Structure 1
Amino acid sequence: MIAKIREFTGGMNFANAMKITLAAVIPVILLNGVGYFEYGFTIAVGALLTYPSDIPSNKTHKIRGVSIAALIVAGSNLLVNVLHPFPYLLYPVFTFLIFFLAMISVYGQRANMVSFSGLLALSLAFAHIHKGTDMLVNAGLMLAGGLFYLLISIAYDLIWPHRYVQQQIAECIRLTAKYMKLRGDLWDVGADRTKIIEKQLHLQVELNTIHENLREILIRYRSQSGASNENRKMLLVFVSCVEILELGLSTAFNHNELHQKFSNFPKALPTYQQLAYHLAATLKRISKSISNNKQYQQKQRQTLNDALEALEQVIASYRTEFGETAASEGVLMLSNMLHYAEKQIEKIRVIERAFSTKNDVRELTVKDRELEKLITPVYYPFNTFKENLSFSSLIFRHSLRITATILLGLIVGNLLPLQNPYWILLTIIVIMRPGYGLTKERSYNRIVGTVLGGVIAFAALHFIHNHAVIGTIAVVSMLLGFAFTQINYKVGATFVTMYVVFIYALLMPENTKVAEFRILDTAIGGALAFIANYLLWPSWEFLSLPAYIRKSVNANANYLREIKTYYAAKGDTTPAYRVARKNAFVETGNLMASFQRMSQEPKSKQKQIQLLYKIVELNHTLLSASASIGTYIQTHHTTKSSEAFNVVMNTVIRNLDNAIKVLNHEVAPSSVNTESRDHELDLRFTELKNLRAKELRALANDDDEFYLRMQESQLVIEQLVWLINLSESIVKAILKLEEKH
Structure 2
Amino acid sequence: MNYATELKKYATSQYINSAVRITLAIVVPSIILAHFGLLKEFFLFPLGTSFVGLTDQPGPFIRRRNSLILAVVSFAVVAAIASLLKDFPPLIYVEIIFFGIFFSMIGIYGQRLAAVGSLSLVVLGIFIDGHLTGSNIAKSVLIFFAGCLWFVLVFLVVSRIQPYKLASQMIGENYIELANYLKTKSKFYLENPDFETLQRQVIAQQIKIKNLQEETRETVFKTRKIVNESTTTSRLLMLMFLNSIDLHEKLMTSESDYRKIQESFGDSGFLQFVGEYLVKISDELSNIGIALQSGNKAKPINNIEDEIGLVYDQYFDLRNAKLSPETLENFMILRLILNRITDITDEVKTIYKVFSQDIKLAKSLSTGLDYKKFLPSEEKLNRKVIRDNLSLKSSHFRHSIRITVALLIGYLISKLHFLGIGHSYWILITITAILKPAYSTTKHRNLLRLYGTVTGAVLAYALLFFIHNNTALLLILLFSMILCFSFLKWQYFWAVLFMTVYIFLSFNFLNPGNVNLIFKDRILDTAIAGVVAFAVSYFVLPVWEHTQNIVFMKKSAHSNLKYFEAVMAYFKNQNIGIQDYKLKRKDAVIDLANLSDNFQRMISDPKNQQKRLQKVHQFVNTAHLITAYTASFSQYQKSASDYPEIDIDGWNKKITAELLRTDLLLNQEEPGKEIAIESSITPEDSVEKLLEKRKREIGESDIVNRRDPNRITHLTELKNLTEILELIYDVAKEQRRVAEKLMADLAM
Give the TM-score normalised by structure 1.
0.89
Deviation at 1:77, TM superposition (A): 0.7
Partner of 1:155: 157
For the 8 Å contact 1:247–1:631, the answer to whether it is kept is yes
For the 8 Å contact 1:49–1:117, the answer to whether it is kept is yes
For the 8 Å contact 2:127–2:133, the answer to whether it is kept is no
- Answer yes or no: is 1:454 the counterpart of 2:481: no
The percentage of aligned residue pairs carrying the same residue is 24
- Answer yes or no: is 1:588 the counterpart of 2:592: yes
Partner of 1:423: 426
191 and 472 in structure 1: CA distance in 2 versus 1, 3 angstrom threshold: closer
Partner of 2:213: 211
Partner of 2:403: 402
- Answer yes or no: is 1:544 the counterpart of 2:553: no
SS in 1 for 2:468: coil
Partner of 2:580: 576
681 and 530 in structure 1: CA distance in 2 versus 1, 3 angstrom threshold: same
SS in 1 for 2:256: coil
Cα deviation digits, residues 554-582 of structure 1 (max 9, x gap): 11111011112212226995211101101
Partner of 1:240: 243
270 and 91 in structure 1: CA distance in 2 versus 1, 3 angstrom threshold: closer
- Answer yes or no: is 1:618 the counterpart of 2:622: yes
Q: What count of residue pairs does the alignment treat as equivalent?
A: 724
State how 1:249-288 maps to structure 2 within 5 Å.
Answer: 249-259=252-262, 266=268, 269-270=271-272, 272-288=274-290
Selected match of 1:113 from 107, 112, 115: 115
Partner of 1:722: 727
**Structure 2: how far apart are the matches of 1:582 and 1:299?**
31
- Answer yes or no: is 1:556 the counterpart of 2:560: yes
Deviation at 1:153, TM superposition (A): 2.6
- Structure 1 range deviating more: 178-187 or 458-467: 458-467
**Structure 1: how far apart are the matches of 2:479 and 2:322?**
67
Deviation at 1:713, TM superposition (A): 2.7
Deviation at 1:736, TM superposition (A): 1.3
- Structure 1 range deviating more: 254-263 or 237-246: 254-263
**Structure 2: how far apart are the matches of 1:467 and 1:268?**
60
- Structure 1 range deviating more: 574-583 or 122-131: 122-131
Cα deviation digits, residues 312-337 of structure 1 (max 9, x gap): 44565566567898886556444433
- Structure 1 range deviating more: 719-728 or 286-295: 286-295
Aligned-residue Cα RMSD (Å) equals: 3.3
**Structure 2 counterpart of 1:601, one-letter code:** D
Deviation at 1:48, TM superposition (A): 1.5
531 and 507 in structure 1: CA distance in 2 versus 1, 3 angstrom threshold: same
**Structure 2: how far apart are the matches of 1:674 and 1:171?**
48
For the 8 Å contact 2:690–2:715, the answer to whether it is kept is no
- Answer yes or no: is 1:485 the counterpart of 2:495: no
For the 8 Å contact 2:232–2:359, the answer to whether it is kept is no
**Structure 2: how far apart are the matches of 1:392 and 1:592?**
23
Partner of 2:305: 305
State how 1:283-298 maps to structure 2 within 5 Å.
Answer: 283-291=285-293, 294-298=296-300
**Structure 1: how far apart are the matches of 2:335 and 2:577?**
24
Partner of 1:732: 737
- Structure 1 range deviating more: 346-355 or 324-333: 324-333
- Answer yes or no: is 1:383 the counterpart of 2:384: yes
**Structure 1: how far apart are the matches of 2:537 and 2:643?**
53
- Structure 1 range deviating more: 654-663 or 126-135: 126-135
- Structure 1 range deviating more: 156-165 or 417-426: 156-165
Selected match of 1:713 from 699, 718, 736: 718
501 and 108 in structure 1: CA distance in 2 versus 1, 3 angstrom threshold: same
Cα deviation digits, residues 608-635 of structure 1 (max 9, x gap): 2222111111100011111111121xx3
Deviation at 1:147, TM superposition (A): 2.1
567 and 382 in structure 1: CA distance in 2 versus 1, 3 angstrom threshold: farther
**Structure 2 counterpart of 1:108, one-letter code:** G
Partner of 2:177: 175
Partner of 1:352: 352
For the 8 Å contact 1:187–1:270, the answer to whether it is kept is yes
**Structure 1: how far apart are the matches of 2:381 and 2:603?**
33
- Structure 1 range deviating more: 499-508 or 643-652: 643-652
**Structure 2: how far apart are the matches of 1:32 and 1:307?**
59
Deviation at 1:197, TM superposition (A): 1.4
**Structure 1 counterpart of 2:49, one-letter code:** A
For the 8 Å contact 1:218–1:231, the answer to whether it is kept is no
Partner of 1:76: 78
**Structure 2: how far apart are the matches of 1:182 and 1:324?**
32
- Structure 1 range deviating more: 62-71 or 20-29: 20-29
Partner of 2:341: 341
55 and 421 in structure 1: CA distance in 2 versus 1, 3 angstrom threshold: same
- Structure 1 range deviating more: 334-343 or 204-213: 334-343
SS in 1 for 2:223: helix
**Structure 1: how far apart are the matches of 2:599 and 2:651?**
30
**Structure 2 counterpart of 1:542, one-letter code:** H
**Structure 1: how far apart are the matches of 2:571 and 2:650?**
13
**Structure 2 counterpart of 1:119, one-letter code:** L
477 and 618 in structure 1: CA distance in 2 versus 1, 3 angstrom threshold: same
Cα deviation digits, residues 144-186 of structure 1 (max 9, x gap): 2222112223333344443333332232212212222232322
Deviation at 1:339, TM superposition (A): 2.8
**Structure 1: how far apart are the matches of 2:599 and 2:583?**
24
**Structure 1: how far apart are the matches of 2:650 and 2:108?**
42
568 and 520 in structure 1: CA distance in 2 versus 1, 3 angstrom threshold: same
Deviation at 1:489, TM superposition (A): 1.8
For the 8 Å contact 1:564–1:646, the answer to whether it is kept is no
**Structure 1: how far apart are the matches of 2:501 and 2:399?**
31
SS in 2 for 1:513: helix
SS in 1 for 2:635: helix
Deviation at 1:272, TM superposition (A): 4.2
Partner of 1:30: 32
**Structure 2: how far apart are the matches of 1:444 and 1:679?**
49
**Structure 1: how far apart are the matches of 2:679 and 2:389?**
48
Selected match of 2:657 from 651, 654, 659: 654
SS in 2 for 1:404: helix
**Structure 1: how far apart are the matches of 2:530 and 2:319?**
66
**Structure 2: how far apart are the matches of 1:326 and 1:448?**
58
- Structure 1 range deviating more: 705-714 or 97-106: 705-714
Deviation at 1:268, TM superposition (A): 5.6
**Structure 1 counterpart of 2:432, one-letter code:** I
**Structure 1: how far apart are the matches of 2:318 and 2:23?**
62
SS in 1 for 2:298: coil
79 and 641 in structure 1: CA distance in 2 versus 1, 3 angstrom threshold: farther
Partner of 1:698: none
User: Gaps (5+ residues) in structure 1?
Assistant: 695-703
**Structure 2: how far apart are the matches of 1:285 and 1:463?**
41
Cα deviation digits, residues 339-371 of structure 1 (max 9, x gap): 322321221112212333594543562522323
- Answer yes or no: is 1:566 the counterpart of 2:570: yes
Deviation at 1:722, TM superposition (A): 1.2
Deviation at 1:70, TM superposition (A): 1.1
- Structure 1 range deviating more: 533-542 or 451-460: 451-460
- Answer yes or no: is 1:535 the counterpart of 2:536: no
For the 8 Å contact 2:449–2:492, the answer to whether it is kept is yes
Give the TM-score normalised by structure 2.
0.89
Partner of 1:190: 192
Partner of 1:10: 12
State how 1:91-106 maps to structure 2 within 5 Å.
Answer: 91-106=93-108
Partner of 1:645: 648
